[in-house]
Every structure is written in C-alpha cells, then in structure tokens.
Amino acid sequence: MGAAHSRAGGRPEPGAGQRRPRRPRPPDAGTDGRARRQRRPLTDGRHATFGADHVHDVVNLGDEPALSIHVYAPRLVSMTFYDDRPACFLDVVRHETLDGTASSAHP
C-alpha cells in the first residue's frame, strides 16, 4: 500500500537498518500497461527527498528491525493510503487526518 502526505514534501532521514522505498509508477509506464515500482535501497546514513505529489511505501529488507524517520514541510496534516496493485493502481483505500478529526475508509 502506498501513501501520499497531504500537501507536504518530505525527506526520510537516515535511521537504522536497510530500507527500500517503493514508488509506484502509472500503469502506462510499463510496456505491458501494468504499474511498476521504482526501488532504491536506503542504507544507514542515506536519505531521499520527494515532493507533495509523491506516493511511496517503505519496506524492511533485512532480518533486523529498521527505522525510517520522515520529516515534512509544511506540517503534515493528512495522509491518503492507496492500493498499489497493478489491477487497481492507486485506488484510494483510506484517508487519515492527523489532528484527530474524521478519517474515511473506502471499499
């Protein structure tokens, strides 16, 4: 599942362990019309930056626990979660606000 972070851009800061952010690409990005993920390992001490329209997921590549710290500007106020499977590319799964107000779920 991917997530978008309201209007905030971000920068995952170095943490512990080896992580891999996954960024889905549109279905027409592949020659067969299916969604593709861009994969780039982030090891200790490495970081990445992204804009407000960026959708990503982070997975742990190792056997040990990993930590990913995300820093956002402007302040993060909501996140939208997406189904990133090729058959339902970026269908909204749910939207969560971070101020304690309502969140919505989608079938």
Q: Residue ranges of the domains in the chain? A: 2-105
CATH architecture group of domain 2-105: Sandwich (2.60)
User: Given this model, what pLDDT does residue 98 score?
Assistant: 80
- pLDDT per residue as tens, the chain (107 positions): 545 555 555 555 545 555 555 555 554 544 444 445 566 777 777 777 877 777 777 778 888 888 888 888 888 888 888 887 777 777 888 888 887 665 666 55
| Residue 102 Cα distances to 78, 80, 95, angstroms | 11, 13, 9
